A = this chain, B = another copy of it.
């Protein structure tokens, strides 16, 4: 938690995205202008970050190595000189309150597990995705793949962390929580899910409304959706795959003849607005939940705007003491 009078510090990995350091530098320049009281600790090849040299609230930390998207996830152990690991180390050494990177989700999460600190009372950390929904409200889905399996009580702790996040960041007073399952009835699913249903129903600190099916994930009727990492990963990727394929087929179908092309030209604005409204990229990858710092992942293909919005999210998470509130939430849980 930030103490009174103390300035916020954010660690920024400048190197790990598909578009390199340029978009991160652009985003940092915009960020420092808006938030002169926040200190940025930017890790990366210093010769690529010279545009940031003249800002008193930016410190450049030279990092010669880069974690590539193609690197093996566990390889991150040996990449201590990389911009990604150095940025994470700044937070684990308490020199930064939050971290932003657009590195590979697997490597980033593994680095957080290896070099970060888990919150007290959190048995398992996890990955949270923010889904775009039909009604524009959005939904938090967790775990989307950090764990290959989870116990019922771990699912309960995901519900608490998700609720704290939805309340602090999305300003929802009593966020609703649902359990991803293969049917809506309370007896549905395997032992873990029936037991999780029981725990979630009994927990007075969360607003549990029952099971939700895969079909309704994007309806936006619930604020937080809890799932084990296996099913959550499959749900997220199945939705992503379907959206990507449908958009691609729509384009192909429209371009296949003259009338279609003219129609597409006329409806261009409408079709692009759909793409924007439903673009997984705009939501910005995943959040690492259950650590003692705000750890945010921007999408690997982020441009400066997307990276800036990930920085703003991290800023808000620190400002709103989300991590501290989760710690409190978990304490109530275990008391």
Contact = CB atoms under 8 A, between A and B. Distances in A.
A318 B238 CA distance: 33
Count the copies: 2
Contacts of A218: 241-242, 245
Interface stretch (A82-90, A91-99, A158-166, A260-268): A260-268
A216 B264 CA distance: 27
- Chain A: interface secondary structure? helix
B269 A259 contact: yes
A12 to B, nearest CB: 28
A254 interface: yes
A313 B273 CA distance: 41
B260 A237 contact: no
A246 B214 contact: no
A270 B266 CA distance: 14
B267 A259 contact: yes
A240 interface: yes
A140 to B, nearest CB: 16
Nearest to A229: B182
Contacts of A247: 246
A230 B193 CA distance: 10
A182 B143 CA distance: 12
Contacts of A264: 263, 267
A316 interface: no
A257 interface: yes
B240 A215 contact: yes
A61 interface: no
A148 B278 contact: no
Contacts of A273: 253
Contacts of A248: 134
Given A230-B182, A263-B264, A148 B249 contact: no
A216 B237 CA distance: 8
B270 A233 contact: no
Contacts of A257: 269-270
A234 B235 contact: yes
A215 B241 CA distance: 4
Given A190-B148, A230-B182, A239 B242 contact: yes
21 contacts: A134-B245, A148-B182, A148-B188, A148-B190, A148-B193, A182-B234, A214-B237, A214-B239, A214-B240, A215-B244, A218-B241, A230-B231, A231-B234, A249-B274, A253-B273, A253-B274, A259-B267, A259-B269, A262-B263, A262-B266, A266-B266
* Chain A to chain B: the 10 pairs with minimum beta-carbon distance, closest first: A263-B267, A214-B237, A263-B266, A214-B238, A215-B241, A260-B270, A242-B242, A149-B190, A238-B238, A215-B237
Interface of A: 134, 145, 148-149, 180, 182, 188-191, 193, 213-219, 229-231, 233-250, 253-254, 256-257, 259-260, 262-271, 273-274, 277-278
